[in-house]
Structure 1
């Protein structure tokens, strides 16, 4: 059945701006609108529901209440951009842009996947002149006049060698099924839905508001490894990969959200080991299983380092590999080698390939970051920043925890650099952030120093090559002390760390402030569409994912690229996944609010021979559930558990010998508790 859609003006939602910024490198714009596909709906977020799932097939329902819409003036004409929240637009350069949405679907290991559309419901759209796909950056407005003069229904072209589900009806939606890939041990396929058919001559459109898709499974894909899914991936997959819950039914999450394995890749020189010891000890206290990859032993080249990481990843006797931290710049006395992608022609550097460890695909199977230093003093600064930020953040003036600085310069990369930051500001304010500074024009460097220099928790920049006059020296000269932001700046050349110091490196190196972590993009060949897509994904992960650690958010930015572009533009996904590099420790959990204090009760001492440590945790007089408790004795044992609904955890330990053990309690948003207890000869001991 075909119904009639309605178009209405409305107050711009941050969600609709999200999709518009990915779709448009626009010129002049009007007030955003929506086109209701379901009567009265303004919800342009796609909804995915598993109808049924078994070992042979999965039925998936896609529903869409509305399309985001905006009038755009370009080339002396007025156009309309139609978008789906979290999606993108696809098509040939200069041709009408068709909105799409992507989703990962979890499938059985070893399966090849085939799909078909088995039902859909469409609505006709008001007269629409679709905005053409643009080349990006500051290039001239592009329009393919032949494409707009071609009569007949146009749907998304099906890429060669892709399994597609296309109904015979020329106005039916198109569903593309990508190749199986493996994410941290779980096989997934990307599904792309293009709900719109369009006739450029008549300016008519037909959009699907519901689509029922059937996926069927057969043997033939690369089998997944036997390793369990790490907790950070398990958390995300449960909420964002259709079919995952059904596949995991009856299987417990690995370590029940306990820390996994943390691999530190560094030189074995005493000058390095003495400086990273505090970070290694802190990660062990938190409950991470720490593995050291000594590049002086395994070889300081990408293949040898990846081989060592692969061995750790494949070892099922230890917790799943979750974080990889490279210690060193890519060259110099203490350098650690990096990769160079060869797809773009720009030869951009990046560390992403170090964590593509399962399935031979481009998806990350662990979270990676780099502590890039050029002097030993800089390494001292970095370790002190990370440990201090995580253990004892500044609590004198707590206003910096609810503050952010966002800058968008449209002068060369278009209005979407502003839109993306307006979207981010709207979400921060909805989350209760009291102070969000914005700069859209004028003296960007001066505004940067004036705001970030006062202390901010987050900093975001979208703009163009040169970062609007904000150089590495501007970052080094910040005096914000320990009030350190996470900085996200996916813009040309902000992450080219193989050609001197890049802006992303400067944040953690800065001696009197700077930031706790930063992401920049390598090369001068970046593109607004893909930069914005990553920017949306990392911020969405940092703010809304249940696991807020910066390395996890970085991986989710890359997954956003995969969801939107893998089926049609896989090379772009690989390039941008490589070019975007995290300079910082991927296991850092950022402060997104004022830290909350904990009250922890445990014995001050235990008798030798005791085999259990009882711990109770409260906050503000109420039980604190779901926090990680770790008891640790260097060289002897490390045991972790989660607090239950009553705030209690009882940790079973080996029969205790005399000495001291460390007790650590932590969780997102809580000031960590660092305590200890003694073990000696007493008349009474606690045992199980």
Structure 2
């Protein structure tokens, strides 16, 4: 479940990086070093306990106009299921002015246990404002850069983007196109995403040399990455918007425009996006020129048209648009830096998430031209910053995992391969409502091991994704099978197991009730190691905090499981022993 509210209270369930902690205080994938240092973890938990609530943080932060939250939920839930822990925050919780939004993001970056790795703004500038910058001679421009500039140094640290929707209907289209691109890419033509379109709108001056240099660099890098074709179009060659549209309708992965433009690309490349018919073969548009997108309330440019075009069932246009909100003269070399940095990051440096390639372009611009802050801030992204850009035909995955699992603490092994070869670096996430949420990357053998505790029956969702990998998404049934899965004997029944007190120093009493006959009690530490295994009778057991040898166990979290004479699980609970 995607986090949209702050939870209050304590529930002893869940795991973090394989270690059970309080669900309400789950602090994400902390390093093993920190988790193992109980002297640090326990005081933290007790401080949180004393306050009664904690901000968990998120890898993917979505700030949305309140009315659009239902429409953004499908994308939020998908990113969360992938392993990008996601938090959706309504503007009403933050404040509707740029300062309040900026401060919220900076606080998240500085203080959340899991700091945001991506920032998505949802809503048109009239619903969620961008920052307004006034220039000399009555000129101005707007930008979202300030929200990602958490270091207050002009440069954006967080990859960011915006869905500039004025209505739920517009947002539904953007979300549908993004989900289709990411989850179910169109593969009737398996090469469309490996085809590039480049456009040069010459002006008959020295800037033309810069434009052509950028086009050749992008085409060369794309070819080295495995792209199969490049449609190179030019004003002087007699090409026009009709030829561009024909290429896009046939399926193209990236479109790069260099040359003069304001609001739309200059004639003869002025695009009528509504007239396209490219369906689900949705490109990324790189408009590295003057203002062809706007973040000013009430305005509209071609950038809006690219991402808003189509419907949820008949899409067209683009999945994302990278462009500029600022216009100027004698800046071809500055926009060149943006183009060169973007494609270097995407094709040569492994920055295949769109927001990261976008920031790489901005970094190149700032490095070469640090005084051109208007252009640095002016470049913005319409689209999902976490979008993984297809640079090759997606590979199908074979994923090995149990067909079913029991509702108890366990190790879960996942192995990922493609065409008989292990896949390393794949992002694997397992989740189950609020009791299980674990993610990580496969090793060189394509494997990953999770320690999980699905506390009740249901379904565990398993999602495997990665760069140029067709996502694997399935549900693993969670039901009572006991330790002897082959046994056909019916379960005697479930027990209710509780501890009084659950937080203790010297001893605690475990009590159970229910129809099943309890025969054994097993207590494990946070690493899953058995510290005490004992036969039980009746309906209670006093644990004095010792192991099988009678030695005191250290402070920490412990999992207690109650089993019947056949070794089948009856109930489980968690305890915290204090220093």
Is TM more than 0.5 here? yes
2-side partners of 1:633 and 1:229: how far apart? 17
CA deviation after TM superposition for structure 1 residue 230, in Å: 12
8 Å CA contact retained: 1:348, 1:578: no
CA deviation after TM superposition for structure 1 residue 304, in Å: 0.8
CA deviation after TM superposition for structure 1 residue 294, in Å: 1.1
Q: How does 1:410-559 map to 2 (within 5 A)?
A: 410-411=202-203, 413-441=207-235, 442-465=238-261, 466-469=264-267, 474-498=272-296, 500-511=299-310, 512-525=315-328, 527-559=331-363
Q: Indicate the SS of the match to 1:366.
A: coil
8 Å CA contact retained: 2:435, 2:455: no
2-side partners of 1:523 and 1:391: how far apart? 34
1-side partners of 2:66 and 2:347: how far apart? 36
Q: Which residue of 1 aligns with 2:148?
A: 355
| CA displacement, residues 503-562 of structure 1 (integer Å, 9 cap, x when unaligned) | 222222110311111111113325211111111111111212223100001111111012
Residue 419 (structure 2) aligned to one of 609, 612, 620: 620
| CA displacement, residues 290-340 of structure 1 (integer Å, 9 cap, x when unaligned) | 12221122211111111111221122422x211110111101xxx211012
1-side partners of 2:171 and 2:112: how far apart? 32
Q: How does 1:165-180 map to 2 (within 5 A)?
A: none
8 Å CA contact retained: 2:96, 2:129: yes
2-side partners of 1:582 and 1:389: how far apart? 17
2-side partners of 1:351 and 1:500: how far apart? 16
1:651 matched to 2:450? The reply is yes
| CA displacement, residues 432-483 of structure 1 (integer Å, 9 cap, x when unaligned) | 3211101112242112111112110010001112412378861222111111
Q: Which residue of 2 aligns with 1:666?
A: 465
Relative distance call for 1:289 and 1:457 in structure 2 (3 A) is same
| CA displacement, residues 21-41 of structure 1 (integer Å, 9 cap, x when unaligned) | xxxxxxxxxxxxxxxxxxxxx
| CA displacement, residues 21-65 of structure 1 (integer Å, 9 cap, x when unaligned) | xxxxxxxxxxxxxxxxxxxxxxxxxxxxxxxxxxxxxxxxxxxxx
1:589 matched to 2:380? The reply is no
Q: Indicate the SS of the match to 1:401.
A: helix
What number of residue pairs does the alignment pair up?
Answer: 423
Q: Which residue of 2 aligns with 1:373?
A: 165
Q: Indicate the SS of the match to 1:626.
A: coil
Q: Which residue of 2 aligns with 1:322?
A: 117
1-side partners of 2:475 and 2:386: how far apart? 23
CA deviation after TM superposition for structure 1 residue 343, in Å: 5.5
Relative distance call for 1:607 and 1:352 in structure 2 (3 A) is same
1-side partners of 2:111 and 2:268: how far apart? 44
8 Å CA contact retained: 2:409, 2:451: no
Question: Any stretches of 5+ residues in structure 2 without a counterpart?
Answer: 1-26, 32-56, 486-527, 530-579
8 Å CA contact retained: 1:409, 1:418: no
Q: Which residue of 2 aligns with 1:635?
A: 434
Q: Which residue of 2 aligns with 1:601?
A: 400
1:300 matched to 2:96? The reply is yes
Q: Indicate the SS of the match to 2:118.
A: strand
* More deviation, 294-303/260-269: 260-269
Q: Which residue of 2 aligns with 1:254?
A: none
8 Å CA contact retained: 2:59, 2:117: yes
8 Å CA contact retained: 1:471, 1:503: no
| CA displacement, residues 564-619 of structure 1 (integer Å, 9 cap, x when unaligned) | 123xx3xx1x2112110100000000111110010001112111113322111111
8 Å CA contact retained: 1:598, 1:671: yes
Relative distance call for 1:296 and 1:685 in structure 2 (3 A) is farther
8 Å CA contact retained: 1:604, 1:676: no
2-side partners of 1:430 and 1:296: how far apart? 47
Relative distance call for 1:425 and 1:547 in structure 2 (3 A) is closer
2-side partners of 1:603 and 1:268: how far apart? 40
Q: Which residue of 2 aligns with 1:16?
A: none
Q: Indicate the SS of the match to 2:191.
A: helix
Q: Which residue of 2 aligns with 1:341?
A: 133
8 Å CA contact retained: 1:293, 1:308: no
2-side partners of 1:682 and 1:595: how far apart? 37
Q: Indicate the SS of the match to 2:469.
A: coil
| CA displacement, residues 186-243 of structure 1 (integer Å, 9 cap, x when unaligned) | xxxxxxxxxxxxxxxxxxxxxxxxxxxxxxxxxxxxxxxxx99999xxxxxxxxxxxx
8 Å CA contact retained: 2:195, 2:253: yes
Cα RMSD for the two superposed structures: 2.5
Relative distance call for 1:492 and 1:659 in structure 2 (3 A) is same
Q: Which residue of 2 aligns with 1:398?
A: 190
Question: Any stretches of 5+ residues in structure 1 without a counterpart?
Answer: 1-226, 232-258
Give me the TM-score of the superposition, normalised by structure 1.
0.59
2-side partners of 1:366 and 1:304: how far apart? 17
Give me the TM-score of the superposition, normalised by structure 2.
0.69
CA deviation after TM superposition for structure 1 residue 419, in Å: 2.3
CA deviation after TM superposition for structure 1 residue 423, in Å: 2.0
8 Å CA contact retained: 1:550, 1:589: yes
Q: Which residue of 2 aligns with 1:219?
A: none
8 Å CA contact retained: 1:351, 1:581: yes
1-side partners of 2:59 and 2:136: how far apart? 33
2-side partners of 1:558 and 1:374: how far apart? 27
1:288 matched to 2:91? The reply is no
8 Å CA contact retained: 1:409, 1:463: yes
